[in-house]
Amino acid sequence: MTLQRRGKSKGEEGYGQGLAAIAAGDDALLDEEAMVETLLGCIESPDYQPPSLPSVAIELMTLSQQPDVDLDDVLGVLERDSMIAGRILKLVQSPVYAGQAQMTSLRDCLVRVGLATLRDEVMAIAIGMRVFKSPNYAETMELLRHHSTATAQIARIVSHYSPIAAEYAFLAGLLHDVGIAGTLLALADGKAAKQKPPELLAIWPALDRVHERAAEVMADHWGLPVEIKMAIGAHHQVLIQGYPHPLAATLAIADDLAHEFGFGVVPKTTEGGSLDGDCAGSHTSVDRTGAATLEQAREALQLSDAQLDLIRGEAASIDPGAGG
């Protein structure tokens, strides 16, 4: 059996325009370099389409960047998607946001939490609904959702102790690993033709190497702000054109702390010989940032040991299962 995929290896005739083949029965024997080229050919193909986000999420993000936004314009956008609106109402009535006065309308929600927070929560819901969903990689997608939400919450905490603006911290954290999800979804496209997608154990190393580039491609398709695109495309490197990028540095630290507290993209411990457990034992460096780069991130944000301890203390109480 052969799995047909978009894209070809660089240098091969028709690269980015045709189909790449992955032998379903030989996943474990795949050459990592060849797999990297296959995945890059897939996501950089002109006909690649990432999972679409609800227009509500994109429009709210655009509105949040405007200096003067009319409340009715925001409500008009949100009211067009009853599912997202209903989940927002439920979320803001939770102990995280609820105050003494009960919120019974979207207008109450917006006044209580503000546009920036509303945008973040809508994006979290949208990503959970459309991106971190795959019947072929269901367990890993759920881990990705929790990891991304945890990273977003910690990134917001980090921003409070750093000299950077906090505007995009949560949103960038939420989106930093969409490249993993988007690539897995592209690989699983063969399901319609009753073709089995590659096993995770075989593709994790190559997937890890291309996920930052995949995130950049998806950011372009979605029309995300340039700052977010740059940061999610360099969250394991921090340096962009030779200079540390503050938002990328924030993501690197938040991502590392998410792993530290057990919210990684593979389980922290192996359980029962499951595929994800095997991945944890075989690929412990998946989605991790090196110690030297983390130190560079700390220096870029001017974080002292005491501040990092405070961040770690606050991060210990996050709940990535809330919202989204």
Domain residue ranges of the chain, discontinuous segments joined by +: 2-43, 52-130, 135-324
pTM: 0.81
Given a cut of 70, whether residue 70 has pLDDT beyond it is: yes
CA–CA distance, 131 with 178 (Å, rounded to integer) = 7
CATH 1.20.120 is held by the domain 135-324: no
Given a cut of 70, whether residue 160 has pLDDT beyond it is: yes
Considering only CA atoms, give the Rg of the chain: 20
In this structure, of 2-6, 40-44, 155-159, 310-314, the range with the lowest mean pLDDT score is 2-6
Given a cut of 50, whether residue 297 has pLDDT beyond it is: yes
272: confidence class by pLDDT, cuts 50, 70, 90:
low
